[in-house]
Structure 1
Amino acid sequence: MLDLYVWLAGYWLLTRELLLLAAAGVAVSSLDDLLFDALYFARQIWRRMTVYRVWERADASSLKGPAADAPIAVFVPAWDEADVIGQMLATFARTMRHPHYRIFVGVYPNDPATRAAVASAGDPRIEIVVAPHPGPTTKADCLNAIWRGMEAHERAQGVRFKAVVLHDAEDVAHARELDVIDYLIPAKAMVQLPVVPFADPQSRWIAGHYLDEFAESHTKDMVVREAIGAALPAAGVACGFEREMMGRIAVALGGAPFDPDSLTEDYELGHRIHARGGKAVFVRIPGTRGEPHVTTREHFPATLETAVRQKSRWLLGIALQGWDRIGWQGGLAARYMLMRDRKALLNALVVIVAYVAALAYAAAIVLKSTVPDARLLPAVVEPGSALHGLLRLTTILLAWRLAMRMMFTGRQHGIIEAVRALPRAFIGNIVNFLAALRASALYVRGAIRKTAPVWEKTAHRFPETVAHD
């Protein structure tokens, strides 16, 4: 019996330490998120009391046209995208209202199917740029090939593009997207529009958790980043850049604006623009009065494996490579945002520790009510203790966090998806934990072997209803 008592005492101590570790980590992260919430709501209240009392809310259809006819270049990097690229290009060309643009699609010499799909679009505004190396390389390398193709077009035609817009091969762009970007550039060096995932009836939980994350990130987080003067990370799609700023970055990097060794070239580009004093803006604006916002929509990974692969690439590029490549540059706001970006790896571990601690605590409660020796031990969490107070605080903070997630999801996708956001928070945490493990393993493996990164993309799909509208 003594051995059992000793074992239970050790279990009690371990459970208490796990609870303390998890509660401390959750509290720190949740208080950081709470600060972001406070900044967002304070900004919303201030704008309602000041700006919107003087100015009417704009919509994209009310924006004045460009002063000149300088065209916009749209970059679409494509590796193994034969299944979607033709539909994407046809939809873009059919629906886009802006009259002056040219689409440059980057393909690889060893990917004839994608090249044929691009050529089948048959639109004179679409130009194929063949990368100089067999694929896949990195997305940044493909974008650099497109950049050089755009420069060759400028020299041959005697034109100068006003802006560069990035898109992926599966994107559904809003018809007034280029109008908004054209209106704001060159006053802004970078314009980022919201990205909204499609709800997938076949994957309510894996693909669905992207709905919740983007609803909060592209409604609240990006707005607060801009408000505090931090760098805006480009999302890689629905983002426009002043061509002149891109040209200066290209000169600094040896001829092209994207670093081919980067896995998150869009994120780094936003930081490079900020470091050069370029102004960036995140814009949520309706297409016309009473209509949904001007956004880009796309399908996100629908299986656990593909979601983990995608998110591990993001974590590897932003949290791990970003630490090496960007460091801790900029002022207080910039450094604070870099910290928030990089805490995702630690958060993934803390959340799993919290799940384990909660299960261990629940087991301890069952043991105390059923095992005689366990009744001799004090409670794992004694009322009035510091741990008890910390756990109450984290419970309140977690309830607030889930309420915020549900609120932002509900605003974007309706009440049913808001309810689903509650269990999807658990699923998202599991995906993020597995992605953090994979990203860390890839980072260590790459450091040891000194291997160059490659374009590890997932299979994409284009919505049939949009393609045939």
Structure 2
Amino acid sequence: MGILPQLDAAEWLALVQHELFLFATFFFILGALDELVVDLAYGWLRLRGKVATPLVDEGQLRARPLSGIAAIFVPAWDEARVIRAMLTHARLAWPQAEARFYIGCYRNDAATLAEASIVAREDSRVRVVVHDRDGPTCKADCLNALYAALQADESRSGERARMVVLHDAEDMVDPAALAALDAALDHAEFVQLPVLALPQPGSRFVAGHYSDEFAEAHGKVMVVRSALGAGIPGAGVGSAVERETLERLAQLSGGNGPFAVKSLTEDYEFGLNVGSIGGRDRFLRLRTREGRLIATRAYFPSRIDTAVRQKTRWIHGIALQGWDRLGWNGGIVRLWMKLRDRRGPFAALLLAMAYLLLLSTGLLGIAALFGVLLPVKASPLLTAMLVICSFAFVWRALVRAVFTTREFGWREGLLAILRIPVSNVIAIMAGRRAIAAYVATLRGAEARWDKTDHDDHPASLAMAPHTA
């Protein structure tokens, strides 16, 4: 007992705070180094011309005949507010006769079924598939029902599809995307286009933080993954898979369909599963000569509660279920990317700790100012680590601002820096909920389709070009 120093309560509090700061800053620096490696890899690949974004002639690309039937799968539960706008825009953007739209509806969702049926009566390329189970089941189950409908159509017609394209009911497809995907599948079995989360004037910070995250992830991280052969996780939208590869995945599932019904993020797993069976994958970034990125555009949640719900599902499915379902197989680069994908819960814990430490530091500083406690001094080691963290934060904020500016202009780029705390708070809340939901599944609870509600569709938005 005599070995331990005799400290009063205030001194113990200062000691605990100091040690927690060391713990948090150590892992923040580790995370910053991880991000810096990705930044350096992107810069090196770009200097070598390995990740250039080619400019294409949109007219020539859209005039290119498709190599066969393109089956577009759109699962839809409770999407009456957006499904007709989505389909109206998509069928006008993709007038090719080979484009066939398969819309997955549920027998107990009369509103969505009615809206989709209106479009189906206007265009014979649109087929409404009514699931034989009450919804919502899960997105993968709905996709598997669409796959069964495609098989039935192929059996009747004797004509096999060239590819299956995945989209959601809130997407605004790019007019050049279908031809671009078709051409890219000449050299790959799975292709993913970028996703752009559109800024929303009524939700500059909550919806806007998605704009920043997707601009950086699909402008840098996915580009690096593709160039290094680290596996391309599907985004669930704007992705295409070659028909034979889809059948191989269905056979490997034991006849239950190619999409994993027990996963909350079946799209993420789907892309990685293509690579695991030897399929070639590619993240495809193209711009028109006018500067428009060929990408899927969509409105993401504009309220903090819906954003937390959506990110809870992502963290639960990718980080927690992904650990269980996909394991840690693969080479060193794939393992590195899996580790990055699964850091969500730990990152949420660190962020929560950091904000609590900042709050406690402020309170202790006020107490010291009034003479209640002695001022707390950081050790030289902690001071150095805090300085490194400060520089790392500035660098990360600048990188995020650059990628947001490239897609949405300098005003959104500046807002990207201000939105970082919003992104962090949502991550903390979603991480806590994801861990609670995962623990519940370990006790026997069923993981359900906690889908995101959509009120608006951006089809009327003019896609302004950006040439940066």
TM-score above 0.5: yes
- Displacement of 1:411 after TM fit? 1.0
Give, in whole Å, the separation in 1 of the partners of 2:459 and 2:67: 33
Structure 2 unaligned residues grouped into runs of 5+? 1-6, 464-468
SS of equivalent residue, structure 1 residue 163 = strand
| Shift in alpha-carbon separation, 1:452–1:11, aligned structure 2, 3 A | closer
Give, in whole Å, the separation in 2 of the partners of 1:70 and 1:453: 37
Structure 2 residue 458 is the aligned partner of structure 1 residue 457: no
After TM superposition, the structure 1 = structure 2 runs for residues 283-294 of structure 1, keeping only pairs within 5 Å, are 283-286=284-287, 288-294=288-294
- Displacement of 1:21 after TM fit? 1.4
Aligned to 1:273: 274
After TM superposition, the structure 1 = structure 2 runs for residues 432-447 of structure 1, keeping only pairs within 5 Å, are 432-447=427-442
Give, in whole Å, the separation in 2 of the partners of 1:214 and 1:421: 12
Equivalent in 103, 106, 111 of residue 104 of structure 2: 106
Give, in whole Å, the separation in 1 of the partners of 2:239 and 2:309: 23
Aligned to 1:391: 386
Q: Give CA deviations for 1:236-261 in whole Å, capped at 9, x if unaligned.
A: 00001111101101011122101111
Give, in whole Å, the separation in 2 of the partners of 1:64 and 1:206: 35
Is this contact kept in 2: 1:410–1:418, CA < 8 A? yes
- Displacement of 1:345 after TM fit? 1.3
- Return the TM-score normalized by structure 2: 0.92
Aligned to 2:40: 38
| Shift in alpha-carbon separation, 1:69–1:19, aligned structure 2, 3 A | closer
After TM superposition, the structure 1 = structure 2 runs for residues 171-320 of structure 1, keeping only pairs within 5 Å, are 171-255=171-255, 256-286=257-287, 288-320=288-320
Out of 8-17 and 222-231, give the one that drifted further. Answer: 8-17
- Displacement of 1:9 after TM fit? 1.3
Is this contact kept in 1: 2:86–2:457, CA < 8 A? no
Aligned to 1:347: 347
Is this contact kept in 2: 1:84–1:170, CA < 8 A? yes
| Shift in alpha-carbon separation, 1:201–1:278, aligned structure 2, 3 A | same
Give, in whole Å, the separation in 1 of the partners of 2:316 and 2:9: 40
Is this contact kept in 2: 1:164–1:243, CA < 8 A? yes
- Displacement of 1:368 after TM fit? 3.7
After TM superposition, the structure 1 = structure 2 runs for residues 313-328 of structure 1, keeping only pairs within 5 Å, are 313-328=313-328
Q: Give CA deviations for 1:343-383 in whole Å, capped at 9, x if unaligned.
A: 121111111211222222333344444417515xxx4213x
Give, in whole Å, the separation in 2 of the partners of 1:400 and 1:464: 33
- Displacement of 1:223 after TM fit? 0.4
| Residue identity in the other structure for 1:35 | V
Aligned to 2:378: 381
Is this contact kept in 2: 1:107–1:131, CA < 8 A? yes
Is this contact kept in 2: 1:87–1:467, CA < 8 A? no
Give, in whole Å, the separation in 2 of the partners of 1:167 and 1:73: 11
| Shift in alpha-carbon separation, 1:445–1:119, aligned structure 2, 3 A | same
Equivalent in 92, 106, 117 of residue 90 of structure 2: 92
| Residue identity in the other structure for 2:434 | A
Give, in whole Å, the separation in 2 of the partners of 1:434 and 1:98: 44
- Return the TM-score normalized by structure 1: 0.92
Structure 2 residue 11 is the aligned partner of structure 1 residue 9: yes
| Shift in alpha-carbon separation, 1:13–1:329, aligned structure 2, 3 A | same
Q: Give CA deviations for 1:119-163 in whole Å, capped at 9, x if unaligned.
A: 101210001111121100000000000000001111111111111
SS of equivalent residue, structure 2 residue 290 = coil
